[in-house]
Amino acid sequence: MKIAYLVNQYPKVSHSFIRREIAAVEKSGLTVERFSVRQCESELIDPDDKSEFQKTKIILNAGAKGLLIQLFTVALKAPIPWLKSLWLAINIGRSSQRGIFYHFIYFAEACVLLGWLQKADIDHLHVHFGTNSATVAMLCNALGGPPYSFTVHGPEEFDRIKDLAIAQKINRASFVVAICSFGKSQLYRWCDYKQWSKIHVVHCGVDENFLNQTVKDISPEPHLTCVGRLCEQKGQLLLLQAVGQLSQEGKKCKLTLVGDGELRPEVEALIAEYGLEEQVTITGWASGEEVKNHIANARVLVLPSFAEGLPVVIMEALALGRPVISTYVAGIPELVNHGVNGWLVPAGSIEELKNAIRSALVLPAEDLAKMGRAGSESVFLRHNIGREADKLVELFHSYSKTLGNL
């Protein structure tokens, strides 16, 4: 069986979980081709991402001329499916914030993808994220392309259900994957209950580089790490306020912000406002190995997000034996057990976040290590990428057989 993966941007700094999933699916014996709508090669740092880029075909690299040529080629070869797919693009474009013009571009991208999938003899197309890449997959399928499925992560898909035509994408998909039970419940809210049976939970996961890692002793130093894109929803601004207030109370700590993003100027301004220049470091984007080292050098990982699906970095931290401070948001409580392998605080509460950080800073290292071991066991049981990929492979085979019997 030959599978294709489609992502809006792949490989990407923050998408190592997709790379791990593809590797695990290939290890199961399936052949996987990689496709991406656009590229971000200049941002890639990790050697594994750079290697993955060489295996990936980029749709928009075809250029405007290539898109138009393929658009008219498909129209001549299969005029009726072409018209039906175009009409679908127009209809969903009318109810979308992006409008009909952008959906016509997605339609042209679907025509390019169709040619590549047919040439590669692809049996099934799997997409990560229910955004424009899933739109391209749906339009490609309407053109006569292979059946498709897609993984919904959130929160963007849940914030834009109608705008992204999620219900239509579910209706036309062979099956749909949610990365946590919370995500599954949100999809249940917005699609017909007759579609519920095709929605499955397959967790993101970590590989042997985390699961078999020797756990480093927890440092007595008051060191915290936060990993994630610098943006409003990750809560770094509240984290800085909490650290700043603790510093004013005489409880100083070191904080490493691993990542970069559109909020960096505001983050830097707040660091200066609180006088935290000697306490807070911003690393910028880091390789997978660098992220591991930053987590291992901290007492805890802190991720005070307002909106999430289920962050992979939490799995990574727990696998490395580090407790986590995070929020009661989306799928996070499905992995972080308050008082057992970390702390959960109400999203947006600086006071509760400050109290949790204070607890992590004063708790003896042996108690933190016990929490870390509990977290590591949870990740091994529920977020082993090998086991999760096996579930996905079974879905590929199961729905392929079902379609074959129609």
pLDDT band at 126 (very low <50, low <70, confident <90, very high): very high
Residue 196 in tokens: 């519920």
pLDDT digits (tens, 9 = 90+) for 92-123: 999 999 999 999 999 999 999 999 999 999 99
Over the stretch 169-211, which tens digit does the pLDDT of each residue have?
Answer: 999 999 999 999 999 999 999 999 999 999 999 999 999 989 9
Nearest to 385 by CA among 35, 44, 27: 27
* Cα angle 45, 49, 53; round to 5: 115
Q: Which CATH number applies to 2-205+385-404?
A: 3.40.50.2000
Going along 338-391, which residue ranges are E strands? 342-345
Record the pTM. Answer: 0.94
| Domain 209-382 coded CATH 3.40.50.720 | no
What integer pLDDT is reported at residue 401 of this predicted model?
A: 63
Within the chain, all domains assigned CATH 3.40.50.2000 are found at 2-205+385-404, 209-382
pLDDT confidence tier of residue 42, bands split at 50, 70 and 90: confident
**Predicted confidence band at 45 (pLDDT cuts at 50, 70, 90)?**
confident
Omega before 323 within 30 of 0, i.e. cis: no
* C-beta of residue 139 within 8 angstroms of C-beta of residue 89: yes
Please check whether residue 302 is in contact with residue 332, taking contact to mean a CB–CB distance below 8 angstroms: no
What is the full DSSP assignment across 63-79? HHHHHHHHHHHHHHH-H
Angle between helices 312-319 and 365-382 (to 10 degrees): 120
Predicted confidence (pLDDT) per residue in 372-385, tens digit: 999 999 999 999 99
Count Cβ atoms below 10 Å from residue 346 Cβ, excluding itself.
12
pLDDT confidence band for 406 (50 / 70 / 90): very low
